[in-house]
Structure 1
Amino acid sequence: MLPEAEPFSAAWLQGVVDALCDLSSKDALTGLVNRRSFEMALSREVDRVARSGESALLLVLDIDHFKAVNDTYGHAAGDLVIKAVADAIGQTVRPMDTVARVGGEEFAIILPSCLPTFGVTVAERIRERVAAMEVPVTPAQSLRVTISLGGAFAPQWVRSSSLLWMERADRQLYRAKAEGRNRACLESQVESLVSAEEKGMLFAVTQQESE
């Protein structure tokens, strides 16, 4: 008779579940949150800000001239640059912040409970840390890269959407690129007034509550 197989232990099964969760929520190259998990976190933060009225900042960033890195040094070097930028971001933000890789050389950061003055400071710290680092891509070659950042604050006490918030941050990223790259452009509080779309959403919610 063949010996009976030992039952799987609870710890082993939990390890398998944890590994599967990581595969579904983490970016394979950097270990950061992937785009799907980021979008879910962004939606939760929009709802939280609407309820609590606390300030929250969304930063989006690109590696400047990244295509030239791939074209000149190859995709393996490009992967090393992406991982180095991911590490630099992780070393600069708080444990409570959500850092995600949302595209090839594109990253996004959700900073809850973030005052406007702190937002400018952390964006500059990230930019400066990346600009100062050297990325070894071969035994004899190191690269320096820069990033462009855009940021927008979620409207407080207002029912908004993650899409509108992302569009605001993207506009600031495009501005940073247009102004020469290697810079951070954040939406001012004046520009963070309620948009027409958000007023429409707020009116719809108010109407539903009154019915």
Structure 2
Amino acid sequence: MDALPSHQHLSIPPALRLESALALLRHSGHGEPAGLPGSEPWLQELIDRLVDLSSRDPLTGLANRRYFEVALAREVDRVARSGESALLLVVDIDHFKRINDTYGHAVGDQVIRAVSEALAVTVRPMDLVARVGGEEFAIMLPNCPAAFGPQVATRVRHRVARTSVPLYEGGAVTVTVSVGGAFAQQWVRSSTELWMQRADRQLYRAKAEGRDRVCLEASAVSSVSVEEKVMLYGTSQFQDFE
């Protein structure tokens, strides 16, 4: 029997695709769109909910890593054009493996949700909070003056330290976080990867110095990396320079 053309193998009835989309919404806890099924407003709401679902972390409801990286790239471009200050914080739950090993993954998930809620209520509505890894979060703060950076990061750390997760058998789990941060390079064409790397280095320093602390890159840092020089000038003439 001759093989069917490839497009026939991939053909999916529209009704089946629509039902799959609705099933995905129901499974994720989202209700079906209101209104007359199949109408233009109903379809638009369905699309909006699917777009929102694709950008959210299912456990916490925060932005997921993919959405955060897209937003971070836009912020890098904005800072390069405007010269305004922007801060990136990376936040990691201290000794999270110990929590999972001691209390189980269900409690671990509760801890992640509790930390995510603490982060979300501590920053401004214009700031973007995301879960970017298992127990790691990131916060992008546009228009954040350098003088406010340490205050914001410390407030985040203190808010999490005041958060507790009750246990079924009594008692509660409290956690701390380590916070690293770096300001965007102003007037410099950079990348999300370089910005994240700089913030991550500060997070590693906070971990190495004992955890439950904030380490921020000095806001006065104005050095431009080789990669940023290449992006700025479109040439590799600087590759031999530090």
Note whether the superposition's TM-score is higher than 0.5. Answer: yes
Q: 1:12 aligns with which of 42, 45, 53?
A: 42
Provide the TM-score with structure 2 as the length reference.
Answer: 0.80
Q: TM-score, normalised by structure 1?
A: 0.91
Shift of residue 202 of structure 1?
Answer: 1.2
Q: Does structure 2 conserve the Cα–Cα contact (< 8 Å) formed by 1:42 and 1:110?
A: yes
Instruction: Tell me if structure 1 keeps the 8 A contact 2:87–2:140.
Output: yes
Greater radius of gyration (CA): 2
Q: Do the aligned residues in 1 keep the contact of 2:88 with 2:139 (CA within 8 Å)?
A: yes
Q: State how 1:104-183 maps to structure 2 within 5 Å.
A: 104-183=134-213
Between the two proteins, the alignment pairs up a number of residues equal to 201
After superposition, what is the alpha-carbon deviation per residue over 1:11-61, rounded to whole angstroms, capped at 9, x for unaligned? 322231122112210000000000000110111000000001000000001
CA deviation map 1:78-101 (0-9, x unaligned):
000000000000010000011000
Give ranges in structure 1 of 5+ residues lacking alignment. Answer: 1-5
Letter in 2 for 1:185: C
Per the alignment, residue 3 of structure 1 pairs with none
Worse-matched range after superposition: 8-17 or 178-187? 8-17
Q: 1:192 to 1:140 in 2, by over 3 A?
A: farther
- CA gap of 1:7–1:75, structure 2 versus 1, over 3 A, is closer
Structure 2 counterpart SS, 1:135: strand
Q: Which residue of 1 aligns with 2:10?
A: none
1:187 to 203, 211, 217: 217
1:71 aligned residue: 101
Shift of 1:200: 2.2
Identical residues among aligned pairs (%): 67
Q: Is the 8 A contact 1:59 1:169 kept in 2?
A: yes
Gaps of 5+ in 2: 1-35, 238-242
Checking the alignment, whether the CA contact within 8 Å between 1:153 and 1:192 is kept in structure 2 is: no
CA RMSD of aligned residues (A): 1.6
Equivalent residue letter for 2:208: A
Residue type of the alignment partner of 2:201: R
For 1:163 and 1:192, how far apart are their aligned partners in 2? Answer: 17
> Which position in structure 2 is the counterpart of 1:35?
65
